[in-house]
């Protein structure tokens, strides 16, 4: 239950109603989403927020609308925002996303949230709190082979340092490397480009310097332009802000956030 009442359409002034109508027409919904009805208490903020949403989700870019919703789903899951997780999952279903793609999205969310905390816990990339195991693992051929492989595969990313620390626990290292390969080295259902975009967004959401640098290098290697990498941070900015807004005001889930009309299947690009 929301902590303040919604500003309903029939209670809004003319300027706010115009924005509400644009939102409803865009999404094919019978009323604006709950988050916008709360923003309606401050029309200027509603207007600016809606313009930002329309810019990112309607503006031409190197990312498809589906890609952007996968990114926002991953960010919302990282921030534990149930409202936005459900909203973006519903939108992805509407856009034809498969179970396999959704599962693979959460695999990346799982792996990179965990890796981020591992890196933070040992200050990897800064001044590690314990030494790497390069010499310690020399007597463990299996461990040495794994992090040697990670060093070769991830040479441009600097991930080997993390795996060398994991070599203190060889069995854990082995299973972690297998998970990592699924999420970072195999195309799968999402493709490597999107997986690494998502990994970067998770790192930025968590303010993890190590993986921000690791994934920035990988995205550059994958051909993302500076403009596209800036757009990724804009998505993180918008989504993280919305996550906190709906959590702080306890916005309730709509039973049907997106309508059935054809326009709702397009990018958010209707004229204001």
- At which residue do the structure tokens 């690009």 appear? 269
Q: Which of 184, 214, 235 is the last residue of a domain?
A: 184
Is 191 part of a structural domain of the chain? no
Q: What's the pLDDT tens digit per position in 168-224?
A: 888 888 899 899 989 988 999 999 999 999 999 999 999 999 999 999 999 999 999
Over 60: is that where the pLDDT of 58 sits? yes
Identify the domain containing residue 20 by its residue range.
Answer: 1-61+79-97+247-266
Q: Tell me, rounded to whole angstroms, the distance of Cα 226 from its chain centroid.
A: 18
Same domain, 90 and 23: yes
Q: What's the pLDDT tens digit per position in 84-137?
A: 999 999 999 999 999 999 999 999 999 999 999 999 999 988 788 887 665 454
Same domain, 14 and 87: yes
Same domain, 143 and 89: no
Is 213 part of a structural domain of the chain? no
224 dihedral zone (left: phi>0; alpha: psi -120 to 50; beta) = beta
What pTM does this model have? 0.88
Same domain, 252 and 166: no
Q: What is the CATH number of the domain that holds 42?
A: 1.20.1290.10
Per the CB < 8 A criterion, the answer to whether 227 and 219 are in contact is: no
In terms of C-beta distances under 8 Å and separation of at least 24 residues, what long-range contacts does 61-69 make, across chains too?
Answer: 61/228, 61/231, 62/224, 62/225, 62/228, 62/231, 63/197, 63/228, 63/231, 65/95, 65/266, 65/267, 66/92, 66/95, 66/96, 66/97, 67/194, 67/197, 68/235, 69/95, 69/97
Is 143 part of a structural domain of the chain? yes
CB burial of residue 10 (10 Å; 0-12, 13-18, 19+): exposed
Same domain, 91 and 136: no
Q: What's the pLDDT tens digit per position in 142-172?
A: 555 665 555 555 544 556 778 888 888 888 8
Q: Which of 141, 169, 184 is the last residue of a domain?
A: 184
Is 130 part of a structural domain of the chain? yes
Same domain, 92 and 150: no
Over 70: is that where the pLDDT of 268 sits? no
Instruction: Tell me how far apart the alpha carbons of residues 119 and 115 are, in angstroms, rounded to a whole number.
Output: 6
Q: Where do runs of H (alpha helix) occur along 30-131?
A: 34-39, 43-58, 65-78, 82-94, 99-122
Same domain, 17 and 84: yes
Same domain, 85 and 145: no
Number of domains making up the chain: 2
Share of residues in the chain with pLDDT > 70 (%):
84
Same domain, 92 and 144: no
């Amino acid at each position: 239950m929301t902590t303040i009442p919604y500003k309903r359409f029939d209670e809004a002034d003319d300027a706010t109603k115009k924005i509400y109508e644009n939102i409803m027409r865009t999404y094919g919904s019978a009323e604006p989403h709950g988050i916008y009805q709360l923003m309606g208490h401050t029309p200027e903020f509603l207007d600016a927020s809606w313009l930002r949403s329309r810019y990112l989700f309607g503006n031409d870019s190197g990312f498809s609308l589906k890609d952007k919703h996968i990114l926002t789903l991953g960010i919302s899951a990282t921030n534990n925002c149930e409202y936005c997780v459900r909203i973006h999952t519903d939108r992805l279903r509407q856009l034809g996303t498969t179970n396999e793609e959704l599962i693979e999205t959460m695999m990346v969310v799982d792996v990179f949230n965990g890796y981020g905390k591992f890196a933070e816990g040992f200050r990897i990339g800064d001044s590690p709190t314990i030494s790497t195991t390069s010499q310690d693992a020399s007597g463990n051929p299996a461990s040495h082979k794994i992090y040697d492989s990670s060093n070769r595969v991830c040479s441009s990313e600097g991930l080997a340092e993390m795996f060398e620390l994991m070599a203190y626990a060889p069995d854990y290292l082995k299973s972690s490397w297998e998970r990592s390969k699924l999420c970072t080295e195999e195309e799968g259902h999402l493709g490597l480009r999107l997986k690494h975009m998502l990994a970067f967004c998770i790192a930025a959401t968590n303010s993890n310097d190590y993986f921000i640098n690791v994934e920035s290098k990988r995205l550059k290697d994958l051909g993302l332009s500076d403009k596209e990498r800036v757009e990724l941070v804009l998505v993180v900015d918008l989504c993280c802000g919305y996550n906190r807004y709906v959590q702080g005001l306890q916005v309730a889930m709509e039973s049907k956030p997106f309508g059935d009309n054809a326009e709702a299947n397009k990018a958010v690009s209707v004229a204001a």
